[in-house]
Chains A and B, each alone.
Chain A
Amino acid sequence: MLQKIIPGIFGVVSLFLLCHIPGPVELSAALAEKPDDIRLEYLYINKKITPETEKKITFFRELLPGGRVSITGKIADTVKVKAVEVSIDNKSTWRKVRSTKKNTFRYSFRAEKGTTYGLFIRITDTKGDTNNIEDTFKGITILDRSLYNAVGDVLNGMIEAYRGKATGSFMAYVDDSFTGEKVEYEKSVQNDFSAIHDISIRYTLNNVTPDYKDKVSVSLNFDRGYTVIKTGKRRSDEGSTVLIFKIDNGKLSLHAVSGQPLFGFTK
Chain B
Amino acid sequence: MSDTNLRVSNYLETPVLRIMTCGSVDDGKSTFLGRLLLDSGNVFNDQLKAIENTGRGTGSNRNAPELAFLIDGLKAEIEQGITIDVSYRYFFTQKRKFIVADAPGHAQYTRNMAVAASNSDAAIVLVDATSGVKVQTKRHLSILSMLRIDRLIIAVNKMDLAGFSRKQFRKIKDETARTIQSVYDHPCSFEFVPISAKEGDNVVRRSANMPWYGGKSVLELLEELEVDDSKASPFCLPVQFVARDSGKRYYAGTVISGSFSAGDDIIVLPSSKRTTVKRLSVAGRDVTGAEEGDPVMVELADDIDVSRGDRLVKSEKDLAQGNTLSCRLFWFGEKPAAAGNVCEMKFYSRRIRGTISQIREKFDLDTVRRIPADVLNQNEIGFGRIVLSAAHFCLPFNDSKDLGSFLVVDLGSGDTVGLGTIDSVESTGPTFPYATIVNKSMRASMKSQHPMLIWMTGLSGAGKSTIGNLLEQRMYESGYHTYLLDGDILRNGLNGDLGFDAASRRENIRRAGEAAKLLVDAGLIVIASFISPFMKDRSLVRSLFAKGEFCEVYVSAPIEECIRRDPKGLYEKVRRGEIAEFTGITSPYEPPVNPEITIDTSRCTPQEAVEQILNYLAED
Decide whether A and B assemble into one complex.
Answer: no
Binding site for B on A (CB under 8 A): none
Binding site for A on B (CB under 8 A): none
